[in-house]
Amino acid sequence: MDFHNFDIGLLVALDALLSEKSVTRAGQRLHLSQPATSIILARLRRYFGNDLLVPVGRKMVLTPLAESLVQPVRDCLVQIQHTVASKAQFNPAISTRRFCLAVSDYVTAILISQALQEAAREAPLTTFELVRLDENIEHKLEKGQVDFIIRPAVHALATHPKEPLFDDTHTCVVWSKNPLVGKRLSRKQFLSLGHVAVHFGHAPAIFEDWFATRYGKIRKIEVVTQDFEPACRLVVGTNRIATIMSRMAQLCAAYLPLRLLPPPFAIPKVTHCLQWHRYQDQDPGTIWLRTLLKREATKLTPMRSHKAEHGRRRRARIFPKQ
């Protein structure tokens, strides 16, 4: 192939066309008109000696050659992006770099809020964007649109490096004045109550998936919410129950009238891990933030064994030691 007529602009356009499978949508992504995008597609077809995109019915599909280019082109662009963004040295005291982290409300509450306090001291000019864990988050990591994902290790991608940050258990949460629950929770009581379930977008929380896999749909799911903190609020004033991560349950019990109880099932602990793109593995800025997050995670108070608890919790039990 003759590389003299192929530039980074064509590579970006090729990635857009391969991803969108549409001249119109690729043009919108590239901020180009449809005629201009069609001209670029014609150049790419001449270059590769292949149609790349062909009409089938009312849609466009990739040719076999185009299909084979999808991942290599994406990897090439991400590597270029990280190479350009990476500096030989990273000085947190003067860096104006921006980091994007995909995290849940739970991870934000028990780890990120503390970690960013430390980051503000070490890197006062550095900025951070926190985005939700949606169904496109893996694609965003592959495209270099997020720098880090923090989530349960069972969901981690095998194609990118990762490190464990912390473990957690599950706790059942009920309103402190719930008349149907005493100091202990039996399986019969658990199944007789209405449940508040947590789903993160398209995916159920770890407990929801674990329980459904082992016991089927035997619970009465009365409310489905997007986060753990709303789940705690939604049991207040009702006879409902929620099963959430223990650290979040303890945090919410500090300001909500809740009673915390050990689940009547042996639920495996959950390890949350930090994951980043393989091309950022040796990036000094990425290494700095990874080190900071791991250091702050070690300050989290170890989880206690489950006990029936009631009322207000001291924040020191949940938040990292100072």
Give the CATH number for residue 294.
3.40.190.10
Q: What is the model's pLDDT at position 247?
A: 95
CATH code, 73: 1.10.10.10
**190/209 Cα distance (integer angstroms):** 17
CA angle 225, 209, 245 (to 5 degrees): 60
Q: What is the model's pLDDT at position 314?
A: 38
Residue 180 lies in a domain: yes
184 and 312 co-located in one domain: yes
124 and 157 co-located in one domain: yes
Domain that holds residue 112: 98-166+272-298
176 and 212 co-located in one domain: yes
310 and 225 co-located in one domain: yes
141 and 200 co-located in one domain: no
Contact 74, 15 (CB under 8 A): yes
Q: What is the model's pLDDT at position 318?
A: 41
132 and 193 co-located in one domain: no
Residue 279 lies in a domain: yes
Residue 231 lies in a domain: yes
- Strand ordering across the sheet containing 162-168: 127-131, 98-102, 148-152, 270-276, 162-168
Contact 20, 40 (CB under 8 A): no
Kind plus residue range of the DSSP H or E element containing 215:
helix 206-215
Q: Enumerate residue ranges in the chain where pLDDT < 50.
A: 1, 305, 307-322
In the listed set 80, 108, 123, which residue is the last one of a domain according to the structure?
80
199 and 310 co-located in one domain: yes
70 and 180 co-located in one domain: no
Cβ neighbours of residue 321 closer than 8 Å, sequence gap 6 or more: 299, 301
Q: What is the CB-side half-sphere exposure of residue 245 using CA atoms within 13 A?
A: 26
Domain count of the fold of the chain: 3
Q: What is the model's pLDDT at position 310?
A: 40
291 and 147 co-located in one domain: yes
